Amino acid sequence: MKTWFRPAISLFVFIGITVWTAGLILSFPARLAAQLSSGVPASQTAGSAPAAADASYKVVVTILQQKCFACHSSTAKMGGFVMASYQTLMKGGAHGPEILPGNSAKSRLVLMVEGTTQPRMPFNGNPLAPAEIAVIKGWIDAGAKGPSAGEAAALQPHLNIPDIKPRFAEVSPAGSVAFSRDGKTLAVGGYQQVRLLDARTGKVLKSLNGAAGLVRSVAFSPDGKWLAAGGGLCQQWGEIQVWDTQVGKLLRTMRGHKDCIYSVAFSPNGKLLASGSYDKMVKLWDPATGKDLRTLSDHIDAVFAVAFSPDGKWLASGSQDNSVKIWDVATGKRLYTLGDPVDGITCIAFSPSGKQIAAAGYDKLIYIWNLAQTGGTLVQSLIADEDSILQIAWSPDGKEIVTSSADGSIRIRDALTLDPIGIIPHQSDWVDAMSLSPNGKWLAAGRFDGTLSIYRMGSFDQALGPLLAFQGNAPAGNTEPGRTARALGH
């Protein structure tokens, strides 16, 4: 168990048991249900009828939803392992595939629920019943077959997740950060709110409340007058709120996408807003009216990052489908795909000149391509970290590339050679939110445990923080005041 994970876990425990309520939509054959309660391993019968493997998948999903989904959903992603669909379940997590079809004895998921491999799953919870483990093993040994086409939709876990408010105050993660264009203000997106902080003192200037879920991306308009906050309710819809930053007033709320939004970006002239969502789509919006202008739909998996080229002509999108796509903004046409990465892309950044783009993600590499109108050429790739790369930024002078990684570090590299220039190690949790000030002097890092620091570029020492970005402000729905002080981590 990595220690920097611990604070993150408490955040999700409150979702834990409550997520699964009565009203199960799934039904499964009585025979398998009986096996589940009687403890007869499914493998004893699974081979006899071909349909049994499919049927036992439903039972397995039911168990996973009840016992694991709180921490392994597309939002929680503990260990990088998402159980939201058969595809992600089979894909596995930070250590690769967790399920080896036909070989339950070597499957990491089984070893972890049995406690042979630590930490035992469910993490900090009651171990699974022997009958439940037997069903999972039986399904794996029978080939770990997925749902039939017709069943796939019905097995999406989100159908069964009611909108449950947290029962006690928790410190919100710092889900996103962005410096204003003048560098004086820092916007921090958290659970159901955005805070505007004085970037020098950390003083809260404004609290912009009312987002639906975690604000995963914030972006200032080029003139600094507006702030776009992207998020939404995962597996339901995406949301963008546009705020007037001067008076702290909500101007409009745009809902679209079928899943939450991971990234928003203003075009350089401020006339367009782009969003990338877990629903695989990229959208272009009119931030002045809220109109949904265009949907760009060629990615085959979640889109985690969008960015406009500095001249505003291109939009780039980075996706879990191991690619970066370059789109023509005027026509909405995909110009080309940069398909070199071997795993999902979590973050992208254009060079200030607009001639190159950098991307990184789960394969721990930084990729840099030269861009032309008709195609891109890979000019650099380097294994840059010991774990997934979470965020990337290109310094305004073009000379440096900064990445944050799930290994708990922030690294600064020469943009030409990718040679290391500096490292800010020992982050207390994942730095899932990062922003460089427009003058290139300051680096803001927001962490999953809710803390925030501002570092000086050059010396890489901490100029501000760590401070709790959302201290003293419980998420809406707090009905258990006794837990507040503990939950805030003091």
For the chain, give percent helix, strand, coil, nearest 5.
Answer: 20, 35, 45
The tokens describing 149, both together, are: 């086409």
Segment near ligand HEC (CB under 6 A); pick from 79-87, 204-212, 315-323, 414-422: 79-87
Q: How far is the CB of 369 from ligand HEC (least distance, A)?
A: 29
| Stretch 347-406 residues interacting with ligand HEC (CB under 6 A) | none
Nearer to ligand HEC, 191 or 430 (CB): 430
Q: At 338, list the tokens.
A: 């940069």
Pairing of strands 314-319, 334-338: unpaired
128 is an interface residue for ligand HEC by CB under 6 A: yes
Q: Among residues 123 and 362, whose Cβ is nearest to ligand HEC? A: 123
Residues 430-469 that bind ligand HEC (CB under 6 A): none
Which of 119, 420, 472, 481 lies at the binding interface for ligand HEC (CB under 6 A)?
119
Could you tell me the smallest distance in angstroms from the CB atom of residue 99 to ligand HEC?
8
Q: Where does 283-394 have alpha helices with state H?
A: none
Residues 6+ apart with CB under 8 A from 410: 402, 403, 404, 423, 424, 427, 431, 434, 443, 445, 455
Beta carbon of residue 116, minimum distance to ligand HEC (angstroms, whole number): 12
With contacts defined by CB under 6 A, how many residues of the chain interact with ligand HEC?
Answer: 31
- Contact between 81 and ligand HEC per CB under 6 A: yes
Shortest distance in whole angstroms from residue 285 CB to ligand HEC: 35
**For residue 165, how far is the Cα from the chain centroid?**
20
Among 11, 53, 59, 68, binds ligand HEC (CB under 6 A): 68
User: Considering the complex, what minimum distance in angstroms separates the CB of residue 409 from ligand HEC?
Assistant: 17
3-state secondary structure of 193: strand
| Footprint (CB under 6 A) of ligand HEC, residues 9-28 | 9, 12-13
Binding ligand HEC by CB under 6 A: which of 79, 157, 231, 256? 79
**Based on CB atoms, which residue is closest to ligand HEC, 114 or 321?**
114
Nearest to 448 by CA among 174, 188, 190: 174
Question: Closest separation between CB of residue 63 and ligand HEC, Å?
Answer: 7
Q: Does 131 bind ligand HEC (CB under 6 A)?
A: no
Is the link from the previous residue into 122 a cis peptide, with omega within 30 of 0?
yes
Q: What is the DSSP letter of 85?
A: S
Report the residue number, 113 or 254, with the smaller CB distance to ligand HEC. 113
In angstroms, what CA-CA distances link 118 with 9, 111, 403?
16, 8, 29
- The residue within the footprint of ligand HEC, chosen from 71, 349, 402, 444 (CB under 6 A), is 71
DSSP character at residue 104:
G
Site membership for ligand HEC, residue 113 (CB under 6 A): yes
State the CB neighbour count (10 A cutoff) for residue 125. 15
Pure H helices in 127-173:
130-141, 149-152
Report residue 264 CA to chain centroid gap.
13
Minimum distance, C-beta of residue 215 to ligand HEC, in the bound complex (Å): 23
We find the least distance from the C-beta atom of residue 450 to ligand HEC, in angstroms, to be 17
Q: Does 139 bind ligand HEC (CB under 6 A)?
A: no
Which range in 120-128, 259-267, 296-304, 468-476 contacts ligand HEC by CB under 6 A?
120-128
Q: Under a CB-based contact definition with an 8 Å cutoff, are residues 18 and 480 in contact? A: no
Per CB under 6 A, 36 contacts ligand HEC: no
Q: What residues from 290 to 329 belong to the interface with ligand HEC (CB under 6 A)? A: none
Tokens representing 129 are 């019943």
Where do the DSSP E strands lie in 272-388? 273-277, 282-285, 292-296, 303-308, 314-319, 323-328, 334-338, 345-350, 356-361, 365-371, 376-383
Structure tokens at 116: 């042979």
Say whether residue 67 binds ligand HEC (CB under 6 A).
Answer: yes
For residue 219, what are the β-bridge partners? Answer: 228
421 contacts ligand HEC (rule: CB under 6 A): no
Please give the residue ranges that form the binding site for ligand HEC (CB under 6 A): 1-2, 5, 9, 12-13, 67-68, 70-72, 78-81, 92-95, 98, 108-109, 112-113, 119, 121-125, 128
